[in-house]
Structure 1
Amino acid sequence: MSRFFGSVRSRATLGASVVVAVALVMAGSAVLFSLRSNLIDQADTQAERSARGVATLLATGKSYADLDLDDENPVQVVDAKGTLVAVSDGLERISGTATDAVKAQTQAGGTGGAGGTTGSGDDDDSDDDADDDTALEPGEIGDDIELTDGTATIDGESADYRFAALTVETDAGAELTVYAGESLDTEQSAVDTALTVMLIGFPLLLGVVAAATWLVTRRALRPVEGIRREMAAITASEDLARRVPEPDTHDEVARLARTTNVTLAALETSVERQRRFVADASHELRSPIASLRTQLEVGAAHPELLDVPGAVEDTVRLQRLAADLLLLARLDAGEGPGDKRLDLGEVALREARGRDGVTVEAADVAVVGSRSQLGRVIGNLLDNAQRHARAAIGVTVRRDGAWAVVEVADDGDGVAEADRERIFERFVRLDEARSRDDGGAGLGLAIARDVAARHGGTLTVRDAPAGGALFELRLPLSA
């Protein structure tokens, strides 16, 4: 059971079925209530019409014996003392009216006037009635209708009825109350029929909704299952070159597939980059370590041949390479740029201090970031410029709108347009003939661009006015 409800399709089907079931129950209840109310209103209207018809006959002086009472629905005429004076034929039992009597108590030849004489009382009573604001005039029919529920048995058949009670004053001054009933069989039959239809139709409709939801969600989620299978296969094979199938739609599943493929492509690029990084780092570390080992072994065997300056130089180069690799590892791990406010012009002046042939024009430009990382960027740009410049290197720090700009220009040979992006890749050196001692490991510019990007900026290269290369670092100004 838990496995069944663990499926999105199952939960969607169950949810849709529950919602539709609740809606059907509420709608069905409203329909039954409205139908019953309308039919009861019709029964009330018919019962009132019957009561008013009998009351009209009594108000005009019709005798009880001459009353044409409906023998299909129960009718009672009761005087002020509660005595039954007239009743419809065939009535065997009744409830819900003023009396449960089914036999009239007056003489067959009695009249409304006689009945009125019996129940009219003396002159004092007549005076009291005259003083009563609610008393009816002779021959007048009351306006108020009292509606009640009850039952009656006519000719052996029992049924539920709605009774309308209406007061009338005969022309002889007798106050009578007419009770006329209207059967509720039509209402009960209609409600029962509607309920039966709902009990049969609602489950069928609910089944159709559940089946449709199941099929629709199955079709909609079929691409998701294909994505899941392909991702499982990629995980098992560790082949990041594979891609999940993208459905020819424009819905959320298609966007999920495209996003998944973009993620796989980025992951493949990252893994391949890490592989190249490890291979290149191993290669770059091997040379200074091998050179240093050779010098130390020669020095151990022949102390007089030990090249101490060379060993120191190889050690320093090895130390710098290790520091570069460590910084790249921290950047790849997501090390943040920091949130300290610093003067970029002061950082440029500090990095340029002690370097031959370097001139600095630095304005006070404030940025937010890591002083050590930004110093490393400017230092790497100066190192690169010194390796390629003929005589002069210029550093400019200025504002440009909402940006802080650092420009490092040299008068060397410049960078060919085709290589202006490749030089920012790790372990890339354009001059393969350059000696490792002078050329570096090819990590400085890669580190500089990574740091610039993590500070929300950019690092690009173009031709310098003096004919060499101009590296431009752009960083957001501090607020």
Structure 2
Amino acid sequence: MRRLFGSVRARATLGATLVVAVALIAAGASVLLSLRSDLIDRAGTQAERTARNVAAHLAAGTAYDDLKLDDEEEPVQVVDAHGTLVAASENLERISGTGTGEVKPAPQQGTGSGDEDDSALEPGEIADEVAFSDGSATIDGESADYRFAALEVDVQDKGRLTVYAGASLDAEQGAVDTAQTVMLIGFPLLLGVVAAVTWLVTRRALRPVEGIRAEMAAITASEDLARRVPVPDTHDEVARLARTTNETLAALETSVERQRRFVADASHELRSPIASLRTQLEVAAAHPELLDVDGAVEDTVRLQRLAADLLLLARLDAGERRGDARVDLGELAVRCARGRDGVTVEAPAVEVTGSRGQLERVLGNLLDNAQRHARAAVAVTVRRDGEWAVVSVADDGSGVPAADRERVFERFVRLDEARARDDGGAGLGLAIARDVAVRHGGTLTVRDAPAGGALFELRLPVG
């Protein structure tokens, strides 16, 4: 049972059935109450009509014995001001719900002219107001429930009389019982139809979801991120879910492929300095006089820088926060350019918010790249452009070809010229700089410098 209702399809069917059941119960109760009220009103109208007919005969001076109450098919009583039954249907055997339970008129003691009458009616006048009550009566051995109408009339020499006339409620009870029977039979059938339709509709609606689930399970089992889930030919939430899932798979595939390339390139880049350092140490172990200390230190420093770059990239990929310190880019540019040959700086104070260490790494990487490719001079400029702080690093080298201006920011990418040089980096400096710039809400681009060479422009939002 728990497994069954763990299904969205089963829960949707149950929910729809319950909602319809509640609606049907409410509607059925309303219909029954309305039907009962309408039929009771009709019985009351019929009882009032009978009472007024009898009252009219009394007002006209008809004697009690001449009322012909047996002509009326329903029970009738006439009661005087003292509550004494003075006239009634001859076939009446029992009655309740009226002014008196008597069924046989009392012997006439007089005309009643001497009775004190506190009624506001004039002789021969029939009251406008009618009082209604529910009761029962037995006529010719048949008992039934009735709606009684009580109507007052003032009769000359008889004083105030009250006429009680009943109308049977059998029709009301029969109609209500019939309606209840129809509902008791029809409602379960209707709920069954609702449940079946909901089950089939949800099955059809959830079929694409099951296809997506099955394909995701197959992708997980095969570890083939190139596969995609089927997209239904609709424009609903399921289709959007499938498209979003495929977009997520594509991003995951790109991320995994990027990670694989990163690991492969990192392994390749680490292999060279490690192999070189090992060779030098093995040679030194066999021939101490041939130890190249400067070369070993250079390889160690190169290895240390590469390891630091890889660690920083790992932290950036893991979502390391940028920080919220106030950083003066002008002061940072002067500090990073200090001690570098051929570097000029024009850097007024411009503050941004972020990580001082990461931004210092960006400027250092840009200056390292510029010095690596410059012929003689590197120019650093810091300025404010509206809501942006702009740092420009220009060199007088050969520049970056237009086709490679985005590729240079990829990890482990080095152009042929840089790769041929002994002092070329591992191809991580610009990638790190671009990642840090993006994480600080900025951009890093490259274009031709006005005097030739490459101009790298870092834009960051002003703090």
Q: Give TM-score, length-normalised by structure 2.
A: 0.97
1:296 pairs with 2:297? no
C-alpha distance in 1 between matches for 2:8 and 2:172 = 45
Residue in structure 2 matching 1:462, options 437, 447, 456 = 447
> How do 1:336-375 and structure 2 match up within 5 A?
336-375=321-360
Query: What is the CA-CA distance between 1:82 and the residue it aligns to?
Result: 2.2
Deviation per residue, 1:370-397 (Å, 9 max, x gap): 0010110111011111111111111111
* Counterpart selection for 2:303 from 318, 341, 350: 318
Q: Write the deviation string for residues 194-227 of structure 1: whole angstroms up to 9, x where unpaired.
A: 1112111111111111111111111111011011
Partner in structure 2 of residue 183 of structure 1? 168
Of the candidates 112, 116, 119, which is equivalent to residue 116 of structure 1?
112
What is residue 213 of structure 2 aligned with on the other side? 228
Residue 334 of structure 1 is matched in structure 2 by: 319
Q: 1:439 aligns with which of 419, 424, 427?
A: 424
Provide the residue aligned with 2:134 in structure 1: 149
Question: What is the Cα deviation at residue 153 of structure 1?
Answer: 1.4
Counterpart position of 1:88: 89
Q: After the TM superposition, which residues 170-249 of structure 1 pair with which residues of structure 2 at under 5 Å, given as runs?
A: 170-249=155-234
- CA–CA separation in structure 2 for the residues paired with 1:309 and 1:207: 89
Q: How does 1:230-309 map to 2 (within 5 A)?
A: 230-309=215-294
Verify: 1:389 aligned to 2:374, yes or no: yes
1:330 alignment partner, SS class: helix
Give the secondary structure class of the aligned counterpart of 1:204.
helix
1:78 matched residue in structure 2: 79
> d(CA) in 2 for partners of 1:221 and 1:146?
62
In the alignment, the residues of structure 2 paired with residue 239 and residue 432 of structure 1 have an alpha-carbon distance, to the nearest angstrom, of 37
Partner of 1:49: 49
The answer for the alignment partner of 2:28 in structure 1 is 28
Tell me which amino acid in the other structure corresponds to 1:33. Answer: L
Structure 1 counterpart of 2:176, one-letter code: V
The amino acid across from 1:18 in the alignment is L
SS at structure 2 position matched to 1:143: coil
The alignment yields a C-alpha RMSD, in angstroms, of 1.5
Unaligned runs of 5+ in 2: none
* Cα offset, 1:93, TM superposition: 1.5
Are the aligned partners of 1:61 and 1:171 in contact in 2 as well (CA < 8 Å)? yes
Partner of residue 421, structure 1: 406
What is the distance in 2 between the residues matched to 1:354 and 1:422? Answer: 30
Q: Which residue of 2 is the match for residue 102 of structure 1?
A: 103
Kept after mapping to 1: 8 A contact 2:93/2:141: yes
Letter in 2 for 1:88: S
1:109-146 CA distance string (max 9 Å, x none): x9xxx5434xx33xxx4xxx4xx5x4432222233322
Deviations 1:18-42 (A, max 9, x none): 1110011001101111111111111
- Equivalents in 2 of 1:214, 1:461: separation in Å? 60
Which residue number in structure 2 is paired with residue 430 of structure 1?
Answer: 415
Match of 2:63 in 1: 63
Aligned length: 462
Instruction: Give the stretch that moved more between structures: 218-227 or 51-60.
Output: 51-60
Q: Deviations over 1:52-110 (max 9, x none)?
A: 22112111211112113243100001122222211123212111112222222246xx9
Report the residue type matching 1:6 in the other structure: G
Say yes or no: does 1:137 pair with 2:111: no
Would you identify which runs of 4 or more consecutive aligned residues in structure 1 move more than 6 Å? none
Contact 2:111–2:158 under 8 Å retained in 1: no
- Cα distance in structure 2, aligned partners of 1:10 and 1:433: 65
Q: Secondary structure at the match of 1:244?
A: coil
Give the letter for the 2:348 counterpart: A
- Measure the CA separation in 2 of the matches of 1:238 and 1:216: 33
TM-score (norm 1): 0.93
Deviations 1:172-207 (A, max 9, x none): 142211100011111111111211121111111111
Structure 1: gaps (5+ residues): none
